[in-house]
Amino acid sequence: MYYKFSGFTQRLTGSVSSTAYSPQGLRSSIPSEASTLIFATPTKVISESGASLEYMGANRVPDLQKIFQSSDGIPVHLKRGVPDRLLYRTTMALTVGGALYCLVALYIAAQPKNK
Amino acid sequence: MAHQAHAYHMVDPSPWPLTGAVAALLMTSGLAIWFHFHSTTLMSLGLVLLLLTMYQWWRDIVREGTFQGHHTPPVQKGLRYGMILFITSEVFFFLGFFWAFYHSSLAPTPELGGCWPPTGITTLDPFEVPLLNTAVLLASGVTGTWSHHSLMEGERKQAIQSLTLTILLGFYFTALQAMEYYEAPFTIADGVYGSTFFVATGFHGLHVIIGSTFLAVCLLRQIQYHFTSEHHFGFEAAAWYWHFVDVVWLFLYVSIYWWGS
């Protein structure tokens, strides 16, 4: 019996030998020997990598991850600061104002036309 | 942030379910007010609130998944099941319209002239624009798959270009359908032929517009480096949805445009 890792169930499932020997994501052309281990190399952040990768702008995801992973207790919908608060307050004002306006409009609509 | 010993996503309290519910209330009440008093104020207010809710809710999901790392493998599994169930429900939504079409066309009543297409209806030629539309949608499926494989291989430039092509083909389809509607020799008021035709193809067109928007959001996210070659479920969900829309079109084309004419 041969096994492979199922991407759907996230578990090991049975498979045929050919799949087990060349699993998905691995290319048979890549040599199987591990490269020489190099210790204590300074880690390179993705956004600092070469300009050849920067097609249509630089990668700002690592910076944004830093902002959104800071533990300040602020919920995710307000975490970006002023623009978030502005948008949130506008939406909430429309929600409360709209609900009241709706109740008034429905009350007026419920009044008989001819008394 | 307190230490978490499991891989599940504990969501922050969110205002969006409330604002979305009020948006639905304003839009439905607004529709009734519009019918009775010829004023679209309340309905437009509801629409603006709905759009604001959609933008901010989905923006937060991107933040949670891409920037906070909450979409771990078990969470992604839940998202997959969610998308599969959603598309299944959409399949049944369209099944209803196909049921109506076949109910009316397989045994046409005497009022229709006992034939299909009904007496007096001039149908569209299935081998003109509808066939082109079929080719356009199939081609967009190919470019979408090209984009997906480019993404998995880390070919950023190709992924962006092929996804752009997919979206452009989607818009081309919508433009052709709009033209076809404008030129159609029958209307939605022309009996059961017109109603089944325009309701089924109209809802399909709406789904094409939604799918194109979904793909466009994926393009913007791809340009901003949100997707990695291993983790890009937003893109996969959009691709699933796009293929679903494609398959519905094939059924519409074969049933309504071709067999039905």
**pTM to 2 decimal places:** 0.83
Same domain, B215 and B254: yes
Could B42 and A102 be called an inter-chain contact, meaning their C-beta atoms sit closer than 8 Å?
Answer: yes
The answer to whether B29 faces chain A, any CB pair under 8 Å, is yes
Provide the Cα torsion B233, B7, A24, A3; round to 10°: -140
Q: How confident is the model at residue A17 (pLDDT cuts 50, 70, 90)?
A: confident
Same domain, B107 and B59: no
Answer whether B100's CB lies under 8 Å from B196's CB.
yes
pLDDT at position A26:
52
Structure token digits, residue B235: 């893109």
| pLDDT higher than threshold 60 for residue A45 | no
Residue identified by tokens 């009022």 is B111
pLDDT at position A4:
75
Taking only the tens place, the pLDDT of each residue in B101-111 is 999 999 999 99
Rounded Cα–Cα distance for residues B141 and B123 (Å): 28
Rounded Cα–Cα distance for residues B26 and B44 (Å): 9
Could B42 and A64 be called an inter-chain contact, meaning their C-beta atoms sit closer than 8 Å?
Answer: no
**CA B259-B179-B95 angle, 5° bins:** 40
Same domain, B251 and B190: yes
Measured between alpha carbons, how far is residue B255 from residues A79, A88, B135, B144, B216 in Å? Answer: 51, 47, 17, 25, 30
Same domain, B114 and B228: yes
Same domain, B64 and B77: no
Given B70, B91, B122, the domain boundary residue is B70
Same domain, B59 and B187: no
pLDDT at position A2:
78
Same domain, B131 and B218: yes
Residue B56: count other Cβ atoms within 10 Å of its Cβ: 20
Same domain, B182 and B80: yes
pLDDT at position B212:
98
CA B24 to chain centre: 20
**What's B253's domain CATH number?**
1.20.120.80
Q: How confident is the model at residue A80 (pLDDT cuts 50, 70, 90)?
A: very high
CA B154 to chain centre: 27
Structure token digits, residue B53: 């809710």
Taking only the tens place, the pLDDT of each residue in B173-186 is 999 999 999 999 99
The answer to whether B17 faces chain A, any CB pair under 8 Å, is no
Same domain, B241 and B135: yes
Same domain, B111 and B146: yes
Same domain, B77 and B190: yes
Phi, psi of B126 (to 5 degrees): -65, -15
Structure token digits, residue A36: 């020489």
**Which DSSP category does A41 fall into?**
P
Could A106 and B29 be called an inter-chain contact, meaning their C-beta atoms sit closer than 8 Å?
Answer: yes
Measured between alpha carbons, how far is residue A39 from residues A31, A32, A36, A49 in Å? Answer: 22, 21, 10, 20
Question: How many domains does the structure of chain B reveal?
Answer: 2
Could A61 and B60 be called an inter-chain contact, meaning their C-beta atoms sit closer than 8 Å?
Answer: no
When scoring B8, B14, B27, B29 by the number of chain A Cβ atoms within 10 A, the one with the most, hence best to mutate, is: B29
Same domain, B106 and B172: yes
Answer whether A47's CB lies under 8 Å from B212's CB.
no
Segments of chain B with pLDDT less than 70: 1-2
Taking only the tens place, the pLDDT of each residue in B122-163 is 999 999 999 999 999 999 999 999 999 999 999 999 999 999
Q: How confident is the model at residue A114 (pLDDT cuts 50, 70, 90)?
A: confident
Does ipTM top 0.90? no
Nearest chain A Cα to B68, which residue?
A69
**What's B30's domain CATH number?**
1.10.287.70
The parent domain of residue B170 ranges over 72-258
When scoring B22, B48, B76 by the number of chain A Cβ atoms within 10 A, the one with the most, hence best to mutate, is: B22
In this complex, the residue of B16, B68, B77 whose CB is nearest that of residue A69 is B68
